[in-house]
Amino acid sequence: MRQYLFGAVCTILSLLLSAGIWIIWQDVRTNEALNRERSQEFDSMLSTIVSGPLIRQEFARAQDAIKKIDGNLVTESKVEENYFYFYQIKTRTNADVLFLKQQATESSNDGSEYKVIPYTIQLAGTYTQLAAFLLELETGPKLAQIRAFSFKRRELGEDSLTLNIELRLLGKR
């Protein structure tokens, strides 16, 4: 080794430098992967920041819609107010309300903040008036589900019909 001291030193130095280069190369690959990850995070944050006003606007619209829906829910204990809803439709359609009753609700402990309130209604009027009443129920502000309905002629030879409706309105607990 003394004879080839210069060659041995160069060989050892070459091995050490090769090991150093390999370690640095591994570190560069790790840093490149980390840099790509951070760039993707930055891009997603930037798109979030840019779309922030739009998100806030959509959130405000969703809150308005929720307030509107909550405002149109019926409350089981406010029977007069609930009946008034049907009598407003009666006034607009000129149908006669013969019978209107809020049925007892089924108690459930499912943790929902909503409940279904059933009604039975019997109306009299012409086919046009009764069809208008049904249309108002379906398209009105209250969330209604018509379970069943039936038309009957009141007396033979008359234009007057009787409409029986079983429906449910969505309400608050």
Domain ranges of the chain: 5-69, 74-172
Paired tokens of 65: 């819609």
At 54 the pLDDT is: 85
If phi > 0 it is left, if psi is from -120 to 50 it is alpha, else beta; for residue 166 that is beta
Q: Are 95 and 124 a contacting pair, CB within 8 Å?
A: yes
pLDDT in tens, the chain (173 residues): 667 888 888 989 999 999 999 999 999 999 999 999 999 999 888 888 888 888 889 999 999 998 988 888 888 888 898 899 999 999 999 999 999 999 887 766 667 778 889 999 999 999 899 999 999 998 988 889 989 988 888 777 777 899 999 999 988 87
**In CATH, which superfamily holds the domain spanning 74-172?**
Ribosomal protein S6/Translation elongation factor EF1B (3.30.70.60)
The pLDDT of residue 107 is 66
pLDDT for position 92: 92
Q: Give the model's pLDDT for residue 109.
A: 67
Among 133, 141, 149, smallest CA distance to 169 is for: 141
- Record the pTM: 0.62
